[in-house]
Amino acid sequence: MDEQMLRIEKAVQWQADHFEEIPVVVVACLKGAIAPWPPIGVSSAYGSIYPAVQNLLLAARAAGLGAALITLPLWSKLLARRALGLPWNVTPCAVIPLGWPIGKYGPTTRRPVGELVSLDRYSNRAFL
């Protein structure tokens, strides 16, 4: 395992061990039950939540906060609804813990878009 993956694994373990100490935990919810059928309905429902979550993550980073999208606490929608006091027609979709990072942020290390985007068919890297 490379050094970056070890850092991520360590951060995830810290978060799990100290979850109750995290100052703010946002639970993004969708009003309405998400039916398992048809599959296109499921992806459409979640597709309306994740852009808002991404905006929250970007705003947190800009403010110097640590944040991450996690879903493991929602392994049981029933138990999550019960713990949060949600009615049956409100579906928890994502959990975003927010707080001050322990260490310093490093520079972002995103690959150039040309290395990731395909044109017309997979792996046609027309933008390189």
Contacts of 98 (CB under 8 A, 6+ apart): 22, 23, 24, 25, 26, 60, 65, 66, 67
| Spans of all domains in the chain | 3-100
pTM of the model: 0.77
What is the crossing angle of helices 50-62 and 39-47, to 10°? 30
* Angle ∠(28,33,37) on CA atoms, nearest 5: 115
Peptide bond between residue 38 and the one before it cis (omega within 30 degrees of 0): yes
Q: 33-91, pLDDT tens digit by residue?
A: 677 777 777 777 788 889 999 999 999 998 989 899 999 889 998 999 999 999 988 98
Question: What CATH fold (topology level) applies to the domain 3-100?
Answer: NADH Oxidase (3.40.109)
Computed over every residue of the chain, the mean pLDDT equals 87
